[in-house]
Structure 1
Amino acid sequence: MSYVFIFIREHLVSITPSDLLKSHTALVIFKMEKPKFSLSALTSTRGALHMAQIVMCVVTFVVSCVWGHPGHTYWIYCMVVWGLCPIISLVITIVEMFLIHKLILVFCMDWDDFTTGMAMMASLCTFSCTVMFANFYICRKCIWGWMVTILSAVCCALYCVETFRDKCDATRSATYVAVLPGFIKILEAFIACIILISLIGYVGKPALLWCIAAYVIPLPLTLLTIITNILTKLKKCLPIDRFTMLFLVISVLLYITAAILWPTYSFKGNPRPKDCPGNSCIWSIQFVVTFMTYVNLGLYVTDLVFTCCGICGFRRS
Structure 2
Amino acid sequence: MPFYLPLKAAHFHNAFRPVEEPLHAKMEKPKFSLSALKSTRGALHMLQIVMCAVTFAVSYVWGHPLHTYWIYCMLVWGLCPIISLVITIVEMFLIHKLILGFFMDWDDFTTGMAMMASLCTFSCTVMFANFYICRKCIWGWMVTILSVVCCALYCAETFRDKCDATRSATYVAALPGFIKILEAFVACIILISLIGYVGKPALLWCIVAYAIPLPLTLLTIIVNILTKLKNCLPFSIDRFTMIFLVISILLYISAAILWPTYSFKGNPRPKDCPGNSCVWSIQFVVTIMTYINLGLYVADLVLTCLGICGFKRSQ
Normalising by structure 2, report the TM-score.
0.92
Q: Which structure's relative contact order is higher, taking Cα pairs within 8 Å and 6+ residues apart?
A: 2
- Give the match for residue 12 of structure 1: none
- Give the match for residue 268 of structure 1: 265
Is 1:255 the counterpart of 2:252 in the alignment? yes
- Give the match for residue 202 of structure 2: 207
- The alpha carbon displacement at 1:298 in A equals 0.2
Counterparts of residues 279-294 of structure 1 (less than 5 Å):
279-294=276-291
Is 1:304 the counterpart of 2:298 in the alignment? no
Is 1:277 the counterpart of 2:279 in the alignment? no
Q: Which residue of 97, 101, 106 maps to 2:101? A: 106
Q: Which residue identity lines up with residue 150 of structure 2 in the other structure?
A: C
Q: Percent identity?
A: 87
- Give the match for residue 14 of structure 2: 18
Is 1:59 the counterpart of 2:59 in the alignment? no
- Give the match for residue 151 of structure 1: 146
Partner Cα distance (1:28, 1:184) in 2: 39
How many residues align structurally?
298
- The alpha carbon displacement at 1:43 in A equals 1.0
User: Against the structure 1 CA distance between its residues 285 and 20, is the aligned structure 2 distance closer, same or farther, given a 3 Å change threshold?
Assistant: farther
SS of corresponding position for 1:192? helix
Counterparts of residues 193-232 of structure 1 (less than 5 Å):
193-232=188-227
After the TM superposition, which of the residue ranges 58-67 and 227-236 deviates more from structure 2? 227-236
- Give the match for residue 3 of structure 2: none
User: Against the structure 1 CA distance between its residues 45 and 298, is the aligned structure 2 distance closer, same or farther, given a 3 Å change threshold?
Assistant: same
Q: Which residue of 189, 196, 202 maps to 2:184? A: 189
Runs of 4+, deviation exceeding 6 Å: 19-22
- The alpha carbon displacement at 1:90 in A equals 0.4
Q: Which residue identity lines up with residue 18 of structure 1 in the other structure?
A: N
Partner Cα distance (2:15, 2:287) in 1: 66
Q: Which residue identity lines up with residue 280 of structure 2 in the other structure?
A: W
- The alpha carbon displacement at 1:70 in A equals 2.9
Partner Cα distance (1:316, 1:270) in 2: 44
- The alpha carbon displacement at 1:69 in A equals 3.3
Is 1:118 the counterpart of 2:113 in the alignment? yes
- Give the match for residue 36 of structure 2: 41
Partner Cα distance (2:15, 2:251) in 1: 57
Structure 1 unaligned regions, length at least 5: 1-16
RMSD: 1.8
User: Against the structure 1 CA distance between its residues 19 and 277, is the aligned structure 2 distance closer, same or farther, given a 3 Å change threshold?
Assistant: farther
Partner Cα distance (1:94, 1:257) in 2: 45
- Give the match for residue 85 of structure 1: 80
SS of corresponding position for 1:33? coil
Partner Cα distance (2:213, 2:169) in 1: 25
Greater gyration radius: 2
Normalising by structure 1, report the TM-score.
0.91
- The alpha carbon displacement at 1:20 in A equals 11
Partner Cα distance (2:65, 2:220) in 1: 33
Partner Cα distance (2:216, 2:138) in 1: 41
Partner Cα distance (1:177, 1:18) in 2: 45
CA deviation map 1:35-80 (0-9, x unaligned): 1001011111110000000000000000000002332110000000
- Give the match for residue 241 of structure 1: 238
Partner Cα distance (1:35, 1:314) in 2: 39
- Give the match for residue 64 of structure 2: 69
Partner Cα distance (1:202, 1:294) in 2: 18
SS of corresponding position for 2:27? strand
Partner Cα distance (2:299, 2:192) in 1: 24
User: Against the structure 1 CA distance between its residues 248 and 165, is the aligned structure 2 distance closer, same or farther, given a 3 Å change threshold?
Assistant: same
Q: Which residue identity lines up with residue 156 of structure 2 in the other structure?
A: V
